[in-house]
């Protein structure tokens, strides 16, 4: 299992626009790499919208966003277009990247156990090392939680409350 301080595993996958994307493409920037179960599901929509709506704030921190699932390029492209996303969605149909990052694990739902993608986010620093890992992410308010960490601020309030998690804060 990966831990903070480890070198992020190399990856080479296709993005929703068909171009090849690698970890090296993000060298010198922070990368927020989030894994999600399936395009066009409610939680995945909330999570993607959160990152989309805050992209300028992430870019102000020299950070890029990329979402990853096992959906194919066509499904990722449709999902991205539907939500008007402003960051790439990466297609890992062979689960190589997903497994390298430890995001594919045993899950259970309605009494059935199966291998599935666990909502996980990695903050990878400009040097390619993992700065922070979020496991079992709650989609609502997660983008704000990650941005708070990138800014080096203390979290304020509950992450379950989407309104407070996305509310602007003022400092005196």
Cα–Cα distance measured from residue 82 to residue 76, given in angstroms and rounded to the nearest whole number = 10
Cα–Cα distance measured from residue 60 to residue 170, given in angstroms and rounded to the nearest whole number = 17
Helix axes 73-83, 42-53, angle to 10 degrees: 60
Q: Is 45 assigned a catalytic role? A: no
Query: Please, which residues have CB within 8 angstroms of residue 59's CB and are 6 or more apart in sequence?
Result: none
CB 87 within 8 A of CB 67: yes
CB 39 within 8 A of CB 80: no
> Using alpha carbons only, what angle is made at residue 131 by residues 128 and 132, rounded to the nearest 5 degrees?
135
Find the catalytic residue in 21, 32, 44, 165. Answer: 44
Q: Which sequence positions are flagged as catalytic?
A: 44
């Amino acid at each position: 299992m990966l831990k903070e301080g480890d070198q992020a595993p190399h990856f080479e996958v296709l993005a929703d626009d068909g171009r090849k994307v690698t970890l090296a493409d993000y060298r010198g920037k922070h990368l927020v790499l989030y894994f999600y179960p399936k395009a066009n599901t409610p939680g995945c929509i909330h999570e993607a919208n959160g990152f989309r709506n805050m992209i300028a704030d992430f870019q102000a921190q020299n950070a890029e966003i990329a979402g990853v699932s096992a959906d194919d390029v066509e499904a990722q492209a449709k999902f991205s277009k539907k939500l008007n996303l402003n960051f790439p969605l990466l297609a890992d149909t062979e689960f190589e990247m997903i497994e390298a990052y430890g995001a594919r694990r045993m899950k259970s739902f309605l009494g059935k156990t199966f291998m599935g993608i666990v909502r996980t986010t990695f903050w990878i620093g400009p040097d390619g090392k993992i700065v922070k890992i979020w496991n079992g992410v709650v989609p609502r308010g997660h983008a704000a939680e990650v941005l708070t960490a990138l800014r080096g601020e203390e979290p304020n309030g509950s992450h379950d409350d989407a309104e407070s998690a996305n509310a602007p804060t003022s400092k005196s």
